[in-house]
Amino acid sequence: MLSFSRRIFLLSAAALGGCGFTPVYGPEGGARGLQNNVLVDDPIDNVTYLLVRELEDRLGRGSGGEKYGLSLSVKTERKSVGKTIAQVTTRFDVLVEATYSLRELSTKKVVTSGKVNSFSSYSASSSTVAELSSETDAYERLMVILTDRIVADLQAYATTNPI
């Protein structure tokens, strides 16, 4: 059965290669112009720090000669979603929305922009330290999700528009 799965994988890879599939950061990939070429605006708080950290991890940190700048605006909201009979909150939802715009640094012209959002939850039923740790982890998970969506949007744009 293992060799059957391997054959299917190899046939799939060959079919993708035959239809013009190229990796976005490959030698002829449409988004290779983004790699190490985007200066992300400085973070203004812990949430934007986490987002900038993830974006720089995916897009690379330029060496000062970047062609594009990425501006970010992040809105967060925390909602109580689980309560005991005594009205003690046991669970929170964290909703985050990030608006971004990619601009040429030389002309300050906005190349593309968009908005992404997601949510995560965490438990508040443990000790204070455990709750703070759970909250921090929820925000870190959200920034990974938002980064994946922003980078996917930028890559999709770059493959259809020359960058």
In the chain, where the domains are located: 1-30, 34-160
The pLDDT score that the predictor gives to residue 141 is 95
For residue 6, give Cα distances in angstroms to 1, 44, 74, 78: 9, 48, 43, 46
Strands (E), 60-142: 68-83, 89-104, 110-123
Which residue from 58, 77, 52 is spatially nearest to 148, judged by alpha carbons?
58
**Which DSSP letter does residue 36 get?**
T
Please give the average pLDDT of every successive group of 10 residues along the chain, which has 163 residues: 55 57 72 87 94 94 85 94 80 94 94 96 84 91 96 92 79
The whole-number pLDDT of residue 111 equals 94
3-state secondary structure of 100: strand
Q: Are 8 and 36 in contact (CB under 8 A)?
A: no
In CATH, what class is 34-160?
alpha beta
Query: What is the pLDDT, as a whole number, of residue 18?
Result: 56
> What is the pTM for the complete model shown?
0.81
Strand stretches in the chain, DSSP E: 38-40, 68-83, 89-104, 110-123
